[in-house]
Structure 1
Amino acid sequence: MTKEEVEKLENRLDEFYEKFNKNVIEEEFKSRHQFTKPNINTTLLNSTANKLFRNYSYYNKNSNFANNEMCCRYLNYWLNEQKIRCISTSDNVDSNYFYDKIQYVCSDIYEYYGNTGKKCDINIKKYSEYVWKIRRKIDDLCYIKEQLGGSAKISKNRKICSSFNKYLYKTLKYIFNEITSTNRETLEPNDFKIEGACSENNLGDILTEVECANDSESDNVPKECKPQQEASLTADHEAHTIYKECKKIDCDENECTCRSFHIVLTMFLTVLGSFLLCVFLYTFTPFGSLLNKLKMRKSKIRHEVDEEQTQVLSEHTSDYDYKNPLNMQYLMPYNSLRE
């Protein structure tokens, strides 16, 4: 898992969310709700109503992308952002009118879909647009962290850990920019309380940097990989897991043999080069002369020491014989009496 894989997860979330905004082309949804009122432009309201009806089906069909609770939250993020757009751009469409019509659509949705899939409670809340955007960013962060296996697993792989922390910093920067650019008095204690993994109790952990392991503790490369194999990390989007595997290096027999030969040749040339360098230094530089002088001096000193030791030993032997003449008296000839 690299930076590119983290970006893939991020892009996958964006693509999932943007599908809510696609134009309705299904005939059964296209004109299902057409609200009209004198002196009111209901074009955007009608578009939102029909998209909501279609998106509820889309929410159920994509429950394998993430858990149902998260998909339901994203559907509500989209609806509340649409409410803000509709009220701010449509003449004479206030929050009460919008809420009444959406409630009508919700009743139609629950009746039409019945027990198909898991029910999503559609809620319209009085949050500002930037609060919805921040809530979605936090949910994105939770999703990616969950897909990577949580803090404990992320910390064991330096590449994954580094990529995730960079994404975390980018998310925090976005959140801080949104908060500092808005009147803080509009914030409420529960504005950023999200159910599940992003609950209020876990929010501190979600927004905390993951401490990456040392290289010796890293799981970047599977230990079981054999020669002619390389390790890779793969994201299984269907199973919502990331696993390691060893893949054979793409090379034919001749190419792989050639690589092994190059390794042996490189080692041989390194040893040969070191030997030739020593010969060159000894022959053509003062280093060799210095070694020769030291060697000759050592030999001369050893020769002088040997001569001195020989002379001392010789003198010692002569003195011993001179100082003990009585030894000669014991050298008497022996004549046998039998003769």
Structure 2
Amino acid sequence: MATAAAAGTVVLVDAALDPYEHPDLRWLVRKHVLAVLQEFPTLSPSVDTYTSDDGASTVLLNARGLLAVSPALPPVLLTVWLPREYPYRPPLVYALPAAPTASLVPDHPFVDHRTGRVHRTLPYLEEWSVPRSSLAGLVRSLVTALRMCHPLTASFGLADATTRARATPVEEERRRMHAVLVDELASRLGRDAAAFRGGVDRDIHALSSLQSGLRARGDAMGRAVRDLEEERMRLERAVTASLVHRGELLSWLCTARRAPDPGAALAPRAAAGDAPRWLESKASELAADDAIDALGHALESGELNFQEYIKRVKVLAREQFFHCYAASTSMNT
């Protein structure tokens, strides 16, 4: 008999999952539904029309039944709806009073007292993810939360009223203290949840501001790197041009240094003019030539920059010109 009932449940679940959006995950949805029905036998599957807050109606698979929170607390009528996007979208959970005389507690941290909808403040719903989350884990988490803070008011029906009438004053005091402690716990949970959510919102805002600042710094660093790369390329082009000019200048200096041997010209010119003056001018001219040659070697080895090299060469070339002129005029006097 149990096997036939289980087979009928599987057939019902499979038929209800036909219009769902993820056909490749129907086996996972079937596994979740059968697991929660096996762990909580008071729940049973059905297919009904679900009406959302905006008025749209959809035929959905659901599990409904009485959920016993604890032996000392009354059960609640639990309905777990599976949306078409399940398991990527969490279930829609409703917890309502099982007895018509009971009502939901206002300002409950997890259950809306007007509709019975379980809020996303329930940690399991808030942290819902695939494949870690399941229907059985959700119901277990809900039982733990409702055991700490029951969603129903203190009036649970005539039987409870009769039991309270027969209770001793000590039991009445214990029950009253228990109700006070439960209310205090519920209010503290609500305040803590609100404070925690406010802190999370502030942290998210601070991290968003920090992220925008880091993004702006990253853009600025990217622009700086591009500017440095352009400057490097410009300097490389300037160095290349300087090397070309240096080669041209060295070629000019090699051509300019090609002069007659002073020893060979000394004999014929010595008898024609002032030999001591010519020797002094010629020695100064050759000394300037050697100095220019030494500056060229310093430029090649990097001991002297190009601008300083040009400046000194200009001065030496000027002096060399005057010494050359003095040597040429001394032999004609």
Structure 2-normalised TM-score? 0.19
Structure 1-normalised TM-score? 0.19
Bigger fraction of residues in strand: 2
Instruction: Return the index of the structure with the highest Cα Rg.
Output: 2
